[in-house]
Structures are given as C-alpha cells and as structure tokens.
Chains A and B, each alone.
Chain A
C-alpha cells in the first residue's frame, strides 16, 4: 500500500495491545482525504481502539500510523482533528452553550478571537440542530441530544479530519438521516470523515468502508466494490461472506488434524 499525499490516514503494520490482549492485529489501510470512510464491525472488534490510536490517546500502539503526514499523536495534530468519543464527553453540569464556549476557548484561546469563537459556537450548535436547547444543562438532555452536543464540540474550529465514534447510535431515523446529510455537507467542503458504526445498514452512506472483525481488516474498499467482489447485495451479507472466507483460509493454513465439523 503506497503512502499517497492525498491520504489523511495511513497505517502500516498497526497493532495495539490493551490489557493482556492484542486488540488490533497488523492493520494496513489508508483513509483518503475529503471522503467519508465508514469503520464497520461488531461490538468489541476494536473500532474505538483504532480511533483512539488515530487521535493519539491510545497507549501501546506499534507499527506506522500517519495522520495528515505526521505520526499520530503529534502535538500539531491536536488542533486539526475533531474527535467524538463513543460515550458523550461533555460537562453534565454546564449548559450546551457553556460547554461549547469552553472547548472553543481551548481551540482558539485569547480575547482577540472572541468574536470568531462566538460565530463558531453558534455555527456548531446550529449544525447539530440544538439551537432551542442551547441554554439547557447537559445533564437534562436525552442521550441522543447529548451525543449531538459532543458532536458539536468536534465541529468547532473546522478540523481537517473528523473522527466520529458511533455518532448515530440510538438516534431516531429522521435525526440519523439529518446527521448523515450534515456529514456529507462537511465532507463536500474537503473535510475527511472517519465514522464508526456497528450497524451495517449505514455502510451505503459511506464513500469507502473498512470492515473490521476481531481486530483484523476484512475489507478496505468502496461499498460497491465489496458487493461486487463478494457477489452479494447487502453489506451485511458481504460481511458474513468475508468472515466465512477468512475462516476457510485460516482452516487451510492450520494442519487439517482436527476432524471436520
């Protein structure tokens, strides 16, 4: 896999150890700029771990992982990546507006940037459709609303890459559609989006897919490419097909001593 300047993220031989286990095994992939890449896989397969490695908060990462041409976790990257953790990470005892004010002040500090911060905060709140709740305490919001506050924080400062860990889980279908529209709008302006989900039906909304299972990559291509290669009609079927394929390959590699079941 070549390291193209057009790639936002490049991984070569990426492995991560968490606790006693190797959670990600020798991953090779790249995430192209300006597109939406979906990171799909069942719960526990390592999606959050991979995202944490990319934003530089995961320990025990080995191999090569470059983000915007710099090693993941480099200090200059911190202002260029927007990250939404899987569980909403905002202050429950502050209002939506106060939360955003604070994180905006961390991104663009100083009194001279105050006007810019104000428009930025308003833009982020509008983007996630929380204008009517701007003065509500975060702890009084529903789970879906809280998710969107967390997302709004990541939109501050117009980052070059958005890393979104399951941002649409538990949202009603209308909101989910609206968020995907927002993601496409953002990507159309040149932002790279890496979004994870354990719901396979979100795959068709992505430009590219990374299918992950038990810490290994099953596929790294376009949704259509995966369907064509596996001769299936849905990503869910394709996923099953790829799992079976991988199992057959693994069985062929180990010596056929065990009786066939």
Chain B
C-alpha cells in the first residue's frame, strides 16, 4: 500500500521507498525513514500536491512522489 491511498487524517508507518537514488535519498534526508509514522493531512485544492505530517512538521510532495512511498 502506498502513501497516496491514505485518507485525510489517517496515519501509517513507512515500510520503504521505491524511488531512484536521488529522490530516495532526499526523502530519507527529510526524515521519511523505515518505521516513521506519517499522517496524510490533505490534498491541495487543485488536486496535487498533498500535505503530510511527520516528525512534528508538515511536508508537501507531489502525488508522483507520494506513490513511491510504501506504508504498512
């Protein structure tokens, strides 16, 4: 299951990231490591990107990238 399939307000633990190296490293640098709890907050008014909450802060990423993050 990927991050995109979360409903607004739902939280899940990260299992892994299926992206190429640069993107994967960037996401990990931002704190998206295995076991991190991510909450999906909302989708932008025009349908993309999405907003998530993790490690006490808010992050926005595009759906393309969110789809590469697998959760439990």
Chains A and B come from one and the same complex: no
Which A residues lie at the B interface, using CB under 8 A?
Answer: none
